Structure 1
C-alpha cells in the first residue's frame, strides 16, 4: 500500500507496518522508496507492574521527527458570541446534521435545523455566564441542548399533552395520562431534572428548593419549568453534566453503576467530553452511538467558540 501510494506521488514519506504478519502484502516486497520509519519487531521493556510491549522501529532519516513544541495554549474562558460567525456556524452545523441523516426539516420533526440553532444561540448570554460559573466549555451546553431540540418530534408533542392532562386534567378526556416525559428545548424529564438539581444543590453547585420526584406536585413544578422556561431548561443542562460526572447518584445506571470522573472543566479531554455526553443519554449501544455523533457536533461548536475567544 505504501509503495503504490508513493509511486502515485501522493505521499512524501511512509511509516511501514512491516512486522504485522496479518498484512500478507509485506512478504516478498521491498520497502517503498520514500520510507521514513519501518516497524520491525515487538520488544519487551520493564518488569513487574512496569512491564510492557512496544514496537521497535528503524528510521531512514527521511523524517527527523519533532524536537520542539509550542507551549500549550492557555484554556481561556468562553466569551459572548460574535454574530459575524453565525452564518458559518449555521452552515457547518446544518451540513453535519444532513450528513448523519437529519435533513433541514421533516414532516415528523417539530423544528428545522435553523430553528433549533436560532433558539439555542438566543440563549448565548446565559450559556456564557453559566460556562464561567462552572468553568465548563460552552460547547458542552450548546451541543446537548441543540441535539435534543433537533430530536423533538410529533410523538414528543403528544406525550407532552398527556403529561399536562395527567397533572392538570386539562386537554381532553380522551388523552391517556402520562406522569413524566422529556420536555423543553433540552428534552429533560422532570425526574432527571429533580435528581440533578437536588444533587447540585446538596453539593453547593446550585441553589433552589429540594423536590421529590415521587411527589406529583413536585414533579409537575419541575416538568412545567423545563417545558415552558427555556432559561431554566438551559440552566439545567450543566447540572445534568456535573451530576453525570459524579456518577449519577440516585439515577438509573448500568449494572455496576457509573464511575466518578472529573466534573467538566475548561481542559476537559475528548474522552471526558464523550463520557458526560454519553451519560446524559444513558448507557448501551444507542447511547454510545449518539454520543459519538454529538462529539462531532461538539467540535463544530467548540471550533467556533475557540476562534471567538482567541484560543
Structure 2
C-alpha cells in the first residue's frame, strides 16, 4: 500500500501507472474496502468525484467534515485519523486548509490521499490534468502549458509545474506580476502573447480566500484574463483548461467555459477515472499483481 500526499514522492513510473489505469474499467475492483473522506475545506468537484469513484469501485464510504468531527473539541488530525484507522477504514481522503497537513500523519499506516492542502499541493488534480493532456495530445512531452492567473496562491499550479516538467512539458506563465513565482525559471508572458504560444492555457482561479490583502475584480479580465478576442488568437489545436470553480467573467469570458476549445468539463469527467485509479494503486498490496482492465 502507498500514500499520495505529494507527487514529489512518486516516480514517473508511478504517475504513468495511474494514467494507464485510468483508461481501464475498475468497476467493483475494491469491493469490501472502506474509505473515509475528511473535507475540512469546501469542495464540490474533488469531493463528489471521490465519492463517485469509491462507489464505482464498490467501496463502502462515509464523509466527515469539520462541523461533525472532534477536531471541534480540540482533537488533533492525527488522533482523528488514528481513530478511523482503528475502526477499520482502509484509506483516508483528506482536504485540509493547513499546508502539508500530512506531515502530522506519518504514524498512520493506511493510505492517506491528499485532496488539497492549503496553498500547497493538489496531486489528484494534477493527475487528472495530466490525463486530460495525454488524451488530447497523445503525450505530455513537448506540450507548451501556460499557467495563467493567480499562480502564487494556487496549489494546482505548484503541484502541476513539477509533474509536467518531469514528464517533458514546457512551462510558461502569465498573470499579475505580484502573483507570479519569480523563483520559477520559466518565461512570464503578457496574456496577449501567451494565447499565441501555448498548446494548453491552464487558467487558474483567483484564490481570494488566501490573499493577505484585498483584491478588486474590476478590469482583471481585460488585463490578465482570457477574453473572446484573445481566444481567437489561440493556435488551432490549443485547448483551455481550468481546475474550477470558474469565476465566470473574471479569469475567462463566460462564453469560453463551454467553448469548443474548452476541456473544463472533460477534466471533471476524467477526475472520476483518475481518482479510481489512485485508490486502486494506493490500496494495492506490495507484490500484488497489478490491476488489469476488465474484458
Could you tell me the TM-score, scaled by structure 2's length? Answer: 0.28
- Structure of greater relative contact order (alpha carbons < 8 Å, 6+ residues apart): 2
Bigger strand fraction: 2
Could you tell me the TM-score, scaled by structure 1's length? Answer: 0.27
Which one has a bigger Cα radius of gyration?
1
